[in-house]
Structure formats: C-alpha cells, structure tokens
C-alpha cells in the first residue's frame, strides 16, 4: 500500500485490520505473509502499526548535483538508445536530460 498517510480517516480501520491479522497469525496466515506500506511521517499514523513493523527510510539526495547523479545513475545506455528513430534520438536524449533536471530542481 502506498501513501498511507493520505488516508487519514481510514488509518483506524487499517489499525484494526492489522491487529486482527496479528491475533490470527498462528492459525490462518501463511508464515511468509508480509505487507508493505509506504508513508510520509505523520503524527496521526497508528503507533501500533509502527511498533509491530520494520521501518526503512530513504533520504533524498541533498543538492542539485547529488540529485542529478542519482537520476542519471539509474539510466542505462540501453534505455538511452531505446528510441529507435534516428531523427528522434537527439530529441529523446534532450527530453530525458530536461526531465531529470526538472525533477532535481523540484
């Protein structure tokens, strides 16, 4: 589930669902069952969910240069060459550069 913090009114229901799952864990749930959630920090997020889970955090890169390096590091040469039309290859590369630069600025 993504962006759980946006469903503020639904979070109490999620907390109840998670508590019910935890109570029936030994009986009905497969041992490899996992639920993955993403959320921004929010003071109204149910504490019981946070206490019973594993938390991972990713820090966004600081600064324009670091952000561009991160974006460009994820691009492969195969992706950059994926535009098959020769006339559009240069335009495609400029578009990718513009989008990564815009993303870094925002």
- Write the pLDDT tens digit of every residue in 45-101: 898 888 888 888 877 778 899 999 988 998 888 888 888 777 788 888 899 999 999
Token pair 């959630």 in the structure block, residue: 37
Greater confidence (31 vs 15) lies with 15
Residue-wise DSSP of 42-101: -TTS-HHHHHTS-----PPPPSHHHHHHHHHHT--HHHHT----HHHHHHHHHHHHHHHH
pLDDT tens digits, one per residue of 17-55: 888 887 776 667 777 888 888 888 889 989 888 888 888
pLDDT of 12: 92
């Amino acid at each position: 589930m993504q962006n759980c913090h946006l469903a503020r009114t639904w979070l109490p229901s999620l907390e109840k669902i998670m508590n019910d799952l935890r109570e029936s864990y030994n009986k009905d749930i497969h041992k490899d069952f996992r639920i993955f959630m993403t959320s921004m920090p929010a003071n109204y997020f149910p504490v019981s969910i946070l206490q019973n889970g594993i938390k991972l955090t990713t820090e966004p890169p600081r600064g324009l240069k670091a952000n561009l390096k991160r974006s460009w590091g994820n691009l492969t040469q195969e992706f950059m060459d994926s535009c098959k039309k020769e006339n559009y290859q240069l335009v495609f590369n400029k578009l990718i550069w513009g989008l990564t630069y815009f993303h870094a600025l925002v």
